[in-house]
Amino acid sequence: MTDHLIENRRFWDAYAPEWVERGEAAWLAETPYWGIWATPESQLQLIPERLVGRSVVELGCGTGYVSRWFEQRGAQVTGVDLSNQQLVTAKGFARRFESEITFILGNAEATALPKHCADIVVSEYGAAIWCDPYQWIPEAARLLVPGGRLIFLGHSPWAMVCTDDEGDAVSNAMRRSYFDLHRMDWTRAPIDPGGIEFNLPLSKWFTLFRAQGFRVDDYQEIQAPAVRSPDRFSTSWEWARSYPSEQVFKLTKV
Ligand SMILES: C[S@@+](CC[C@H](N)C(=O)[O-])C[C@H]1O[C@@H](n2cnc3c(N)ncnc32)[C@H](O)[C@@H]1O
C-alpha cells in the first residue's frame, strides 16, 4: 500500500468512533443533506429520482448514509471503504435499519469490483478527497457502464489554497500554490493533525475527466447558508459565505 493508504486507514480507524453520532443522524434523516453545511438535496439534486433496478457504488462510504439514501430510492448499493472501523459502524446501522447494502473493505483507487458493474458511482468526502484523483477517477470510469454517472462532492480547491499543511483554519490569505495542488499531508500538522488528502486545480480536474471519457453535466460551488452557522471543520461561516468551500461534479461516462 502507498503511504497515503496506510496513513488514511490508520487515521480513519482511530477517528471512526467520532463519526457514529453524525452517521446515525444521517441514516435517520427524512431528507438527504450534503457536506459540511448540510446543503439540502432539494438544492443540489445529487440523487436521481428513479433508481429501481440500478446499481450504485459508493467509494469511501464511511458510515454508509449516502449509500442508504440511494437504497431508499430503490438502488442496489455497494459501499467500499478503507477503514474496517468505519465499516463496523456502517454494518451496525445496516442491521439496525434492515438495509441490504453490501459493504466491502477495500481501496477506492483499485477496487475488486468487476468492470461495468455500476450505473452510478458516488462519493461525498470519501474518494472525492481521500484518494488520488489520478487513481480513483480511472477506477470510477472502469466501474461505470457506458452512460453511467459519476457524482461527487468534496472541498473546493479555493479552500485548499487558503490553508496549508500546518492545519490552520481556512483564511483569506493564499497559503499554497493553486497550480501545484494535488496531495496535502496533514499527518504531522501541529494544529489538528489529520490524514492525506487530494485536490486539483479546476483545469486539471476537467482534463482528467476528458481523458477518462467523462462528460461534465454540471459543476456546482457550494456557498454556506444565509443563516449564520458555527465553523465547520476549520472553515468559518464568514469565509464560506464569500468563497466556495465545497464543489460538486456531476459527470456522465460517454
Ligand atoms: C468523511 S468519511 C466518508 C464520508 C461519508 N459520507 C461519511 O461521512 O460517513 C471518509 C471515508 O473515506 C474513507 N477512505 C479514505 N481513503 C479511502 C480509500 N483509499 N478507499 C476507500 N475509502 C477510503 C475513510 O475510511 C472514511 O470512512
Residue nearest to atom 5 of ligand 1 (CA): 62
Residue 167 pLDDT: 84
Residue 98 pLDDT: 98
The CB of 36 under 6 Å from ligand 1? The reply is: no
Residue 64 has pLDDT above 90, yes or no: yes
Residue 91 pLDDT: 98
The CB of 154 under 6 Å from ligand 1? The reply is: no
pLDDT digits (tens, 9 = 90+) for 119-152: 999 999 999 999 999 999 999 999 999 999 999 9
Grid cell in block for residue 22: 453524525
Residue 233 has pLDDT above 90, yes or no: no
Strand 196-198, strand 183-185: pairing? antiparallel
**Distance from residue 87's CA to the centre of ligand 1 (Å):** 10
Beta strand extents in 35-142 (DSSP E only): 39-40, 55-59, 76-81, 102-105, 118-124
Residue 129 pLDDT: 98
Q: Under a CB-based contact definition with an 8 Å cutoff, are residues 170 and 239 in contact?
A: yes
Residue 186 has pLDDT above 90, yes or no: yes
Q: Under a CB-based contact definition with an 8 Å cutoff, are residues 68 and 144 in contact?
A: no
Residue nearest to atom 26 of ligand 1 (CA): 62
Q: Under a CB-based contact definition with an 8 Å cutoff, are residues 178 and 161 in contact?
A: yes
Q: Hey, which residues does 253 pair with through a beta bridge?
A: 214
Average pLDDT for the chain: 97
Q: Nearest 10 degrees: CA dihedral of 40, 44, 50, 53?
A: -90
Residue nearest to atom 2 of ligand 1 (CA): 62
Half-sphere exposure of 168 (CA within 13 A, CB side): 12
- Amino acid identity of residue 170, one-letter, is V
Q: Which atom of ligand 1 is nearest to the CA of 90?
A: 9
Mean of pLDDT values over 220-242: 95
Question: What's the rounded Cα separation, in Å, for the pair 246 and 197?
Answer: 14
Give CB contacts under 8 A, 24+ apart, made by 202-205: 202/157, 205/133, 205/249
Would you tell me the crossing angle of helices 202-211 and 133-143 to the nearest 10 degrees?
40
Band of residue 115 on the pLDDT scale cut at 50, 70, 90: very high
Q: Hey, which residues does 153 pair with through a beta bridge?
A: 124, 248
**Distance from residue 61's CA to the centre of ligand 1 (Å):** 5
Q: Could you tell me how many helices (H) and strands (E) the chain has, helices first?
A: 10, 11
The CB of 80 under 6 Å from ligand 1? The reply is: yes
Name all domains of the chain by residue range, CATH numbers in brackets: 3-253 (3.40.50.150)
pLDDT digits (tens, 9 = 90+) for 1-39: 799 999 999 999 999 999 999 999 999 999 999 999 999
96, with CB counted inside 10 A (0-12, 13-18, 19+), is exposed
Band of residue 191 on the pLDDT scale cut at 50, 70, 90: confident
Mean of pLDDT values over 223-243: 94
Band of residue 168 on the pLDDT scale cut at 50, 70, 90: confident
Band of residue 112 on the pLDDT scale cut at 50, 70, 90: very high
Q: Which atom of ligand 1 is nearest to the CA of 124?
A: 6
Mean of pLDDT values over 88-102: 98
Residue nearest to atom 19 of ligand 1 (CA): 107
